[in-house]
Structure 1
């Protein structure tokens, strides 16, 4: 599908994939295609197990960063892609921007005292599920503060499933755990039965 001359993955294709626990990844920033993936062991962050370090809690108390939602979505995704190796291609950036404009993709943004983007994350919401995609930081701990704010948003608005796709040691510090594909499917099916939850502060 093309929008203003750009090739994109149709929003309905992306939403159908996410509703089945499938997500796209490219091989590199310049890759013009995507592969579709799932996982036999799925990473999730249970809402009641989320945690951050005492240092991050202190930064939050100090209000070092200001949180905004959905004001610079493309910038956040582009920052997430700005690394030596990435699965976030221009095709994914353009496709998810269309999904954002349709109200299904979201960014959590951290701003420093000078109003500059210090960190953030983005993901997709569908039903009562949030599918976390990637996060970045330009300042120390800004990505972790963004994750804390994301948890606050998900809890406040009644989300039930926080999908991280894969389990990593890095995500484990926030309460990420691994569940089987069968267990994940049960939780996903339950979340998909719910009305679309709002993603707002």
Structure 2
């Protein structure tokens, strides 16, 4: 059994109480208000549930993370980036990015966990300056890829990415990692794709120590960071 937290005054239990099976399930209930979400992320907790389920909160152990130092970009991807005619931006189309992430089919999922309620919650955080997006546009100005997540200090908590063209989501991720804004990207759970990009597994305790230090450090503008990367 997992505890239920109060809807009006949610207090999260220690992450060490999260279940082993399913990995990381910590509690249910609460709400998706900005203060609640920021409290959760600052303790290594994130919401993940589907329509028809209660609001569920997770903190898996171990954790997959990515850093600028561990990022792996293949030779073919480097050649692609040098020659590509796409445009990469940041924070230009956050609502469109999260909507695309919710709509794209995924082999390991039946439906989407990015519900209407979740979308609105993260859009609210965007207008408060705590969520950010990377957008990839083709030569005709069509949105073909991107990602979004929550940012606190020098940590980016990655939520989802999408791609309508080969290499579009990889381009978004490489742009994020080379923006100079973040020292740690929380990928939450292991995927083979992220592992090929340099994602590494860490014990939750190690992740939390690094995360809680880095969220207190100031960062710079993601928009400026992405623009600077492509001006080089």
TM-score normalized by the length of structure 1: 0.88
Structure 2 counterpart of 1:23: 46
Structure 1 counterpart of 2:145: 119
Match of 1:176 among 178, 183, 199: 199
Match of 1:66 among 87, 99, 106: 87
Structure 1 counterpart of 2:76: 55
Q: Whole-Å Cα distance in 2 between the matches of residues 37 and 185 of structure 1? A: 14
Match of 1:130 among 136, 139, 156: 156
Tell me if structure 2 keeps the 8 A contact 1:44–1:165. yes
Q: How big is each residue's C-alpha offset from its partner over 1:25-74, in whole Å with a ceiling of 9 and x where there is no partner?
A: 122xx447421111110010122010122222222101331001111101
Q: Whole-Å Cα distance in 2 between the matches of residues 18 and 37 of structure 1? A: 10
Match of 1:40 among 61, 67, 84: 61
> Where do residues 48-197 of structure 1 align in structure 2 (5 Å cutoff)?
48-82=69-103, 83=105, 85-153=111-179, 156-157=180-181, 159-195=182-218, 197=220
Structure 1 counterpart of 2:23: none
Q: How big is each residue's C-alpha offset from its partner over 1:129-155, in whole Å with a ceiling of 9 and x where there is no partner?
A: 1001110011111111111111111xx
Tell me if structure 2 keeps the 8 A contact 1:126–1:197. no
Q: Whole-Å Cα distance in 1 between the matches of residues 85 and 79 of structure 2? A: 9
Q: How big is each residue's C-alpha offset from its partner over 1:65-121, in whole Å with a ceiling of 9 and x where there is no partner?
A: 100111110110111111253211111101000000001101100000000001000
Question: Shift of the alpha carbon at 1:123?
Answer: 0.6
Q: Say which SS state the counterpart of residue 162 (structure 1) adopts.
A: strand
Aligned pair count?
A: 190
**Higher relative contact order (Cα pairs below 8 Å, separated by 6+ residues):** 1
Q: Structure 2: which 5+ residue stretches go unaligned?
A: 1-6, 8-30, 227-232
Q: Say which SS state the counterpart of residue 57 (structure 1) adopts.
A: helix
TM-score normalized by the length of structure 2: 0.77
Structure 2 counterpart of 1:198: 221
Q: Whole-Å Cα distance in 1 between the matches of residues 71 and 38 of structure 2? A: 26
Tell me if structure 2 keeps the 8 A contact 1:32–1:89. no
Work out which of the two has the higher radius of gyration on C-alpha atoms and give 1 or 2. 2
Tell me if structure 1 keeps the 8 A contact 2:133–2:148. yes
Tell me if structure 1 keeps the 8 A contact 2:68–2:178. no
Q: Whole-Å Cα distance in 1 between the matches of residues 119 and 46 of structure 2? A: 14
Tell me if structure 2 keeps the 8 A contact 1:131–1:164. yes
